[in-house]
Amino acid sequence: MRGLVNYLTKNLVEFFKILRMAGMSFSVSDCITAFKSLEFVEIFNKVQVKAALQACLVKDETGKEIFSKVFDLYFVPPAVRNEYVTNRAETIETLKMEIEESVKSLNFQDTQVELTDEYKEIFAGLPESEKINLESFLNTTSAGKNVRTEFKQLAEGTIKGKLTSLKQKYAQQLIQTRGVLVQDTSEAGIIAAEVSDEILKANDLLHRNIGEINSEDVPAAVRLISELIENLNRELSRKYRKTGKKRRLDFKKTIQSNLSTGTVLFKLKYKNRFHSKSKLFLFCDVSASMLQFSSFVLQFLAGIGKKFTTTESYLFSDNAIRMNNKLYYDLSDFETQVKSSPIWGKGTNIGVSLDGILHNNSVIISSSTVFLIVSDAKTLDYNLAANNLKELSKRVKRVLWLNPVPEKNWTGIKGLEDFTKYCTMLDCSTLERLMVACRRL
């Protein structure tokens, strides 16, 4: 019996480890509860054991999906599991060798170009035509007159830049080689990676860069965006907020708290301030640098316009113009209107555009306004932009900034650090990030 308990404990601990590697999060006390729960089910009944462990360890819908897949892969007869793990490990090793082999063709003057694992995986996953293009670029560069070996670094930089842009173009195709070189080939590593990959593929749209959402995915993306806007709407329409600012006397509480003194009003109690509904002010960047995100931006604008009846919308690039809210109901009209506006695809000047908002008497912004900016923050005259943003932040309730550039790349954008002092900047590079951002609001 003790042997069985030890075997079970060892297996469960390993199972918990795989769940965590696959992306689930639970505490030690959850593990203890999970162990305890097994006392109340038939230990040899797989369905009951699965349900009991799931009830204690899972905390959300995605977690349930991960749990179910890991359980089904892990709790199989040991021989079946070993065979699966061995086969998978062999496949991964072969893939690793193929990737390493593939990058050997990238040479600068007979020396192999030095690339990180991530770049190697991208290169190996590319279509043959793209590989040939990169190889011939290197061959041509190496063979030029007066080309010294010191130029290798320059060539490497160019190759890396090209690979980064090709990564976006062939995102779907590159899933096959993603993470292979760093893949753990232990039993736990293999099962966890298998499950994570499946979840990633199933929720591909959520994790894809919003600039890469194509026309086929638009209905699904619109649905997701609608859900997100619904969340945003709910959050902004919350009326009761505790502010701590004492204003109106609360007679009921005052009398109540002064009963002990025979209703002589020694202690005064005040009502929490009642907040009016927030008004949304949408300020959307449609400059040239934002064109790659235009599909997302247009859907987002239309979605916001439909959900928030009190929205004021302005588009900007080198200047700001007001949008007609009635257009939101017909997306094709709306798209035509936006694309034919004089500021579509121009350079960006957030400072000047904000100036137009701050110093225009017909534009109503107040302490109940939530100012939502959708922009990549790439702008001329970022000092003016930061100053105007500072002034704006004092006049409105909150400034939210949705940035379609991934957070890891923000350091390369000039002035962005200053902007973040006066607003809450959220990464919306993928729908998943946007979802997380909306929940953090």
Partner 1 sequence: MNLITLRRSLEAENYIFDEEFLITVHIALKLGKPLLVEGAAGVGKTEVAKVLASALGVELIRLQCYEGLDESKALYEWNYQKQLLSIQAGLASEANLSNLYSKEYLLERPLLKAINSENSNVLLIDEIDKSDEEFEAFLLEVLSDFQVSIPELGTIKAKSRPVVILTSNNTRQLSDALKRRCIYLFLNYPDVEKEIRIINARLPGVPERLAKDAANAVSYLRQNSRIYKKPSVAETLDWVSSLLAMDKNRLDEDGISKTLGLIIKNREDMLEIRKDEGFSELLDKKPR
Element (H, E) at 286: none
DSSP 91-134: HHHHHHHHHHHHHTT-EETTEEPP--HHHHHHHHHS-HHHHHHH
Q: How far is the CB of 260 from partner 1 (least distance, A)?
A: 7
Tally DSSP H helices, then E strands, for the chain: 18, 8
Closest approach, Cβ 95 to partner 1, in A, equals 33
**Number of Cα atoms under 13 Å in the Cβ half of residue 382:** 12
From the CB of 50, what's the least distance to partner 1, in Å? 8
In terms of CB distance, is 132 or 255 closer to partner 1? 255
What's the rounded Cα separation, in Å, for the pair 367 and 279?
A: 9
Between 229 and 377, name the residue whose CB sits nearer to partner 1: 229
Element (H, E) at 1: none
Quick one: which of 352, 357, 322 has its CA closest to 337? 322
CB of 409 to partner 1, least distance (A): 26
Torsion sign (Cα): 411, 415, 418, 422:
negative
In whole angstroms, how close is the CB of 16 to partner 1 at the nearest point?
15
Residue 64 Cβ vs partner 1, minimum distance, rounded to whole Å: 5
Between 30 and 318, whose beta carbon lies closer to partner 1?
Answer: 30
The least distance separating partner 1 from the CB of residue 438, rounded to whole angstroms, comes to: 9
Residue 286 CB, nearest approach to partner 1 (Å):
26
Residues of the shown chain interacting with partner 1 in the complex, contacts defined by CB under 8 A: 27, 29-30, 33, 36-37, 39-41, 47-48, 50-52, 54-56, 58-61, 64, 219-220, 223, 226, 231, 234-235, 238-240, 242, 252, 255-256, 259-260, 262-263, 439
Q: Which is nearer to partner 1, 100 or 230 (CB)?
A: 230
Separation CA 122–CA 131 (nearest Å): 10
Nearer to partner 1, 29 or 362 (CB): 29
Displacement of CA 383 from its chain's centroid (Å): 28
Cα separation, 85 vs 166, in Å, equals 32
- 10 Å CB burial of residue 438 (0-12, 13-18, 19+) is buried
Of 102 and 231, CB closest to partner 1: 231
* Complex with partner 1: residue 252 or 339, whichever CB lies closer: 252
CB of 61 to partner 1, least distance (A): 6
Give the list of residues 6+ apart from residue 76 with CB closer than 8 angstroms, or none.
84
Q: How far apart are CA 235 and CA 41, in angstroms?
A: 42
Bridge partners of 402, per DSSP, are 374, 426
Position 216, amino acid? E
Nearer to partner 1, 34 or 92 (CB): 34
Task: Identify which of residues 44 and 240 has a Cβ nearer to partner 1 in the complex.
Answer: 240
On whether the CB atoms of residues 377 and 349 are closer than 8 A, the answer is no
> Least CB distance from residue 330 to partner 1, whole Å?
12
Cβ proximity to partner 1, 222 vs 365, nearer residue: 222
Quick one: 62 or 142, whose CB is closer to partner 1?
Answer: 62
Collapsing DSSP to helix, strand or coil, 63 comes out as helix
Distance CA 308, CA 292 (A): 26
Q: How far is the CB of 205 from partner 1 (least distance, A)?
A: 10
Backbone angles phi, psi at 240, to 5 degrees: -90, 120
Nearest to partner 1 of 206, 380 (CB atom): 206
CB of 6 to partner 1, least distance (A): 23
The strand order across the sheet containing 279-285 reads 320-322, 312-316, 279-285, 369-374, 398-403, 424-427
**Per-position b or e across 59-79, b if 16+ CB within 10 A of its CB:** eeeebebbbebbbebbeeeee
Provide the 8-state DSSP code for 209: B
